[in-house]
A = this chain, B = another copy of it.
Amino acid sequence: MTTTADYLVEGMTCGHCVMSVTEELTALEGVQHVEVDLRPGAASTVTVSSDAPIDPDAVRAAVGEAGYSLSDPRP
């Protein structure tokens, strides 16, 4: 079974940014696939597919490791 989750990531501007984020997220245990809808100048949508739900804190940490940050959800 595959679980997918979408995250909004700030500050990604080019293909190198996509590579960095994809590399960090793919390294998380259980992650099968990462897809990025790059939107330079806005938040990019990053879709993480995994065989079990991934802890959002782990995703936040991996995105931070790549040098970017998750968009905080608005209340």
Q: Which residues from chain A sit less than 8 Å from chain B, CB to CB?
A: 13-17, 19-20, 40-41, 67
Contacts and interface: CB of A to CB of B under 8 A. Distances in A.
Copies per complex? Answer: 2
Contacts of A20: 16
A69 to B, nearest CB: 14
A35 to B, nearest CB: 19
A36 to B, nearest CB: 14
Contacts of A41: 41
Given A13-B14, A16-B17, A16-B20, 10 more contacts: A13-B13, A13-B40, A14-B14, A14-B16, A14-B17, A15-B67, A16-B16, A16-B19, A40-B40, A41-B41
